[in-house]
Amino acid sequence: MVSAAAGVAAALTSLRGCDFLSSADFNPEETAAVLQLASQLKSGDRRIDLGNRVLGLIFSKASTRTRVSFQVAMARLGGQTVDLNPSVTQLGRGEPLEDTARVLSRYCDALAIRTFAQQEIADYAHWASVPVINALTDLEHPCQALADFLTMQEVHGDLAGQTLAYIGDGNNVAHSLMLCGALLGVNVRIGCPAGFEPLSGVLDQARSLAQHGAVIELTSDPRQAVSGAQAVYTDVWASMGQEAEQAEREKAFTGFCLDRDLLDQADQSAIVLHCLPAHRGEEISAEVMESSASRIFDQAENRLHAQQALLAALLGGL
Ligand code: CP
Ligand code: NVA
């Protein structure tokens, strides 16, 4: 019989050298083990020194939290980051990805990439010989989901059987919440207007991955989605790259603002989450954002702890 600690250690060791392109790239044990290591690193029970490893950051979209939390995570682990913004490298002048990925693998120990198409990071992962981390694509935001469930676990304890309701656009954040939630045994309810649902393929994938009988549900009624949930989550209605659709989306999402009335449908102990940046008065009211139920800034902090754990596992610094 393998002890729980040995099981966690084995799950983390199995991640050495892996890519993290999707929440579904890790199995349930690996996902839970990364959360456990994140909470040990946060509390100071565990210290890890990666010894001068270098993480390359290739960001084609704006970022505050993801960029800075990766920079600080590497610094805390004794390593460093290099900023490979495509506008200042030969990438921006059309150097092929397959060449860039192979060259950067000779300098960096891992690459964190934020871009539009999921296929692009899949191509990087194919050509790179070091771990590639999805720092957000149009399809997924898996690092965010790790921090989100770490935050929920800190408040509610064992995640299996808890319910997280996500209200708004069926976007990258919603996709990773469904997949990561399914792996952790969390019921995930998505409430979004018709025409803005998550991809049916991701919904099916989440349902097939669901542990401990977790149910992944979709509804167009925000009140039904939130009813009795232990966490209520929202994100912007127009993601990066969809700025031209802002006005049309504001109309389509009428009734989907996370305000006091909607929050009152949730469990009494419910926490409020938002990946940020937020648009107060659109997807979330200023009152709810600043309410005592809000764990939004703990959640932002947890990006750092979750990514430290992720980097330690992928880079084999355990
Ligand atoms: N939540 C998140 O990914 O924030 P940034 O866009 O600032 O990185
Ligand atoms: N869905 C948002 C998340 C930002 C962190 C976007 O892709 O812009």
Give tens-digit pLDDT for 60-87: 999 999 999 999 999 999 999 999 988 8
As a whole number of angstroms, the distance between CA 148 and CA 181 comes to 10
Give 169's contacts (C-beta < 8 A, 6+ positions apart): 192, 196, 235, 236, 237, 238, 239, 249, 253
Same domain, 114 and 167: no
Q: Is the model's pLDDT at 28 over the cut of 80?
A: yes
Looking at ligand 2, which residue's alpha carbon is closest to its atom 7? 239
Average pLDDT value for the chain: 97
Q: Is the model's pLDDT at 95 over the cut of 70?
A: yes
- What pLDDT, on the 0 to 100 scale, is given for residue 88? 87
CA 75 to ligand 2 centroid distance, Å: 25
H helices present in the chain, as ranges: 4-13, 28-43, 65-76, 97-107, 118-127, 142-156, 172-184, 200-209, 222-226, 246-252, 260-263, 286-289, 296-314
**Is 99 in the active site?**
no
Counting from 1 in the atom list of ligand 1, the atom nearest the Cα of 66 is 8
Nearest to residue 130, comparing CAs of 40, 36, 19? 19
Same domain, 111 and 169: no
- What pLDDT, on the 0 to 100 scale, is given for residue 85? 87
Ligand 1, pocket-test mutation among 284, 303, 307, most atoms within 8 A of CB:
303
Same domain, 19 and 150: no
CA 215 to ligand 2 centroid distance, Å: 25
Q: Between β-strands 231-234 and 271-274, what pairing exists: parallel, antiparallel or unpaired? A: parallel
Please state the rounded mean pLDDT for residues 113-126.
98
As a whole number of angstroms, the distance between CA 165 and CA 181 comes to 11
Residues 203-244 have pLDDT tens digits of: 999 999 999 999 999 999 999 999 999 999 999 999 999 999
Please state the rounded mean pLDDT for residues 26-35.
98
Catalytic residue among 235, 257, 305, 307: 235
As a whole number of angstroms, the distance between CA 146 and CA 135 comes to 12
For 115, phi then psi, to 5°, come to: -155, -165
Q: Which domain holds residue 212?
A: 144-299
H helices present in 253-295, as ranges: 260-263, 286-289
Please state the rounded mean pLDDT for residues 16-35.
98
Catalytic residue among 53, 65, 114, 295: 114
Q: Which residue in the block uniquely carries the two structure tokens 């549900």?
A: 217
Length of the chain equals: 318
- 37 falls in which pLDDT band (50, 70, 90)? very high
Q: Between β-strands 271-274 and 187-191, what pairing exists: parallel, antiparallel or unpaired? A: unpaired
Same domain, 134 and 17: yes
- Count up the domains in the chain and report the number: 2
Same domain, 248 and 276: yes
Radius of gyration in angstroms for the set of CA atoms belonging to the chain, rounded to a whole number: 19
Same domain, 287 and 237: yes
Please state the rounded mean pLDDT for residues 95-124.
98
Counting from 1 in the atom list of ligand 1, the atom nearest the Cα of 275 is 1
Same domain, 206 and 65: no
Same domain, 248 and 284: yes
DSSP letter for 25, please. G
What angle do helix axes 28-43 and 172-184 make, rounded to 10 degrees? Answer: 100
- What pLDDT, on the 0 to 100 scale, is given for residue 56? 98
DSSP letter for 309, please. H
- 130 falls in which pLDDT band (50, 70, 90)? very high
Q: Are 223 and 210 within 8 A, CB to CB?
A: no
- 304 falls in which pLDDT band (50, 70, 90)? very high
Same domain, 197 and 295: yes
Please state the rounded mean pLDDT for residues 179-203.
98
Same domain, 61 and 149: no
Q: Is the model's pLDDT at 3 over the cut of 90?
A: no
Same domain, 48 and 29: yes
As a whole number of angstroms, the distance between CA 140 and CA 116 comes to 10
- What pLDDT, on the 0 to 100 scale, is given for residue 317? 80
**Is 257 in the active site?**
no
DSSP letter for 276, please. S
Same domain, 12 and 104: yes
Any ligand 2 atom below 6 A from CB of 236 = yes
- What pLDDT, on the 0 to 100 scale, is given for residue 1? 61
- What pLDDT, on the 0 to 100 scale, is given for residue 66? 98
The pTM of the full predicted model, rounded to 2 decimals, is 0.98
Give 236's contacts (C-beta < 8 A, 6+ positions apart): 168, 169, 277, 278, 279, 282, 283
**Is 303 in the active site?**
yes
CATH of residue 85's domain is: 3.40.50.1370
As a whole number of angstroms, the distance between CA 208 and CA 218 comes to 15
Assess whether the previous peptide bond of 277 is cis (omega < 30° from 0): yes
